[in-house]
């Protein structure tokens, strides 16, 4: 094992510098992975804006890499395997608590400490959270497993979507685009999506959205009503979150009576909301965070299959790639949608 590694750390002002740091802790049962590609997530952008103190360990949770070292007794994996890393849940999970036994590792009651993420040369996680890439997948595909799994989970677990359902997706950033791809791959009859930027709208159509609207108030609502004869969508997936109630109100307006509103976007502060309308129409609100085992299969497995089979051209959402040394340019590009960016990856 090397004595140290390169890692990109935010100084607390939004400036990332690549510097020599200690290797991540090799705790009992951990595997060591050489990071090869990591996506910049919308949550990374939010945290960069909100952070006020210098980072001590690197972040980055949309990660693909190569296994360098495994704990004794590990037989499913071997050194040299290419893997997508489930960094948040299973990769840190104890494996024995109530939630782990249910396959809901995100809610593990005894997770290991966070030893750092993919904006560094190396990271450590438990082998259970390492999912092999197929021979048809490259590092770009591998680093897209995590965001695709987020939306696979939203569709399979939270939406309980049935083949033939009509699904509306609020927002066509990474998770919205993943929701379009997942809904289509899992049998949605019609998918209607909103997109704020032209490049997002183009990708939404490429990934199978039947109707794509602007993000202007009323546009998605009108399209959903038109497509459903005034009924509304069976499920609406809200993928934006933020600091305003607008997209949640829009989601309700697009949902049919007794339909489902799935909230994937992170609403980052308390917001007032009138529940009377959803109450009277018996809507179901479901929150969806990350991924887990649904019907005997982990959402990562489903995402790997989708990317490997080419069911959806999801890899095309990666519009920009920067080496780790240029991560600051990567964040600047991800922030500025005038660059034409949809998804930015950091490569090594």
Per-residue model confidence as pLDDT tens for the chain (348 residues): 789 999 999 999 999 999 999 999 999 999 999 999 999 999 999 999 999 999 999 999 999 999 999 999 999 999 999 999 999 999 999 999 999 999 999 999 999 999 999 999 999 999 999 999 999 999 999 999 999 999 999 999 999 999 999 999 999 999 999 999 999 999 999 999 999 999 999 999 999 999 999 999 999 999 999 999 999 999 999 999 998 999 999 999 999 999 999 999 999 889 999 999 999 999 999 999 999 999 999 999 999 999 999 877 899 999 999 999 999 999 999 999 999 999 999 999
**Nearest CA among 182, 169, 139, 168 for reference residue 300:** 182
Query: Cα–Cα distance between 73 and 29 in angstroms, integer?
Result: 9
Cα–Cα distances in angstroms (integers) from residue 289 to residues 55, 57, 76, 147, in the given order: 24, 23, 27, 11
Query: Cα–Cα distance between 148 and 274 in angstroms, integer?
Result: 31
The contacts of residue 51 (CB under 8 Å, 6+ apart) are 10, 12, 14
pTM of the entire predicted model: 0.96
Query: Cα–Cα distance between 264 and 150 in angstroms, integer?
Result: 8
Q: Write phi, then psi, for 61 (nearest 5 degrees).
A: -120, 0
Query: Cα–Cα distance between 143 and 272 in angstroms, integer?
Result: 36
Q: Domains plus CATH for the chain?
A: 4-132+313-347 (3.90.180.10), 149-287 (3.40.50.720)
């Amino acid at each position: 094992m090397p004595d140290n590694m390169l890692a990109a750390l935010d100084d607390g002002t939004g400036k990332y510098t690549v510097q020599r740091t200690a290797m991540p802790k090799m705790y009992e049962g951990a595997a060591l992975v050489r990071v090869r590609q990591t996506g910049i997530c919308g949550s990374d952008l939010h945290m960069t804006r909100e952070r006020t103190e210098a980072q001590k360990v690197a972040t980055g949770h949309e990660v693909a890499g190569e296994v360098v070292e495994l704990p004794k007794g590990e037989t499913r994996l071997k050194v040299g395997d290419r893997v997508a890393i489930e960094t948040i849940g299973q990769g840190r999970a104890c494996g024995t608590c109530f939630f782990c036994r249910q396959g809901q590792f995100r809610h593990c009651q005894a997770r290991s400490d966070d030893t750092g993420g993919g904006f560094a040369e190396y990271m450590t996680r438990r082998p259970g959270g390492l999912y092999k890439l197929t021979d048809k997948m490259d590092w770009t595909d591998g680093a897209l497993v995590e965001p695709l799994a987020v939306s696979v989970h939203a569709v399979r677990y939270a939406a309980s979507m049935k083949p033939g359902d009509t699904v509306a997706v609020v927002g066509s950033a990474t998770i919205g685009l993943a929701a379009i791809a997942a809904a289509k791959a899992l049998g949605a009859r019609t998918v209607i999506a909103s997109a704020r930027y032209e490049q997002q709208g183009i990708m939404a159509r490429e990934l199978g959205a039947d109707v794509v609207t602007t993000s202007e108030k009323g546009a998605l609502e009108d399209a959903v009503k038109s497509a459903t004869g005034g009924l509304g969508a069976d499920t609406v997936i809200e993928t934006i979150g933020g600091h305003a109630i607008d997209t949640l109100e829009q989601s309700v307006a697009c949902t049919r009576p007794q339909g489902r509103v799935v909230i994937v976007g992170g609403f980052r502060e308390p917001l007032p909301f009138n529940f009377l309308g959803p109450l009277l129409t018996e809507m179901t609100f479901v929150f969806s965070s990350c991924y887990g085992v649904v019907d005997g299969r982990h959402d990562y497995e489903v995402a790997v299959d989708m990317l490997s089979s080419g069911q959806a051209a999801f890899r095309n959402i990666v519009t920009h790639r920067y080496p780790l040394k240029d991560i600051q340019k990567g964040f600047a590009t991800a922030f500025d949608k005038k660059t034409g960016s949809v998804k930015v990856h950091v490569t090594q």
